[in-house]
Amino acid sequence: MNNGEIRILLGSTEKAGTGLNVQRNVVGMHHLDIPWKPSELEQRNGRGARQGNMLAKEAYDNKVRNYIYAVEQSLDNYKFNLLKNKQTFISQMKNCELNVRTLDEGSIDEKVE
């Protein structure tokens, strides 16, 4: 991949994940399935969007495009929305942006005067 001899690489999150250095010529990542954890999608995208990606830097404004394929009204769609909600929650936790919810006990008990 890095030498440019191989133009297309197919791999799973496990096989093409941590430790695989193929970033030199990556300009697009195509996800054919949706993982359950946001960290897995982040790991996948990180294979291309890394320091040392010469082709993206020279010809594509230093950006790698990510494509996710899913079928409407299917498990794919459900998993993608679930993944998005999980990532939103994780980001809110990391940035201390969770809204505080309080419960007014007095409004629940009708006998309170």
- Show me where the domains of the chain are located: 23-108
Residues 81 and 74 sit within 8 Å (Cβ to Cβ): no
Taking only the tens of pLDDT, the chain with its 113 residues reads 888 888 888 888 777 767 777 888 888 888 888 888 888 888 888 878 878 888 888 888 888 888 888 888 888 888 888 888 888 888 888 887 766 555 555 555 555 44
Angle subtended at Cα 92 by Cα 80 and Cα 19, rounded to the nearest 5 degrees: 60
Query: pTM of the prediction?
Result: 0.65
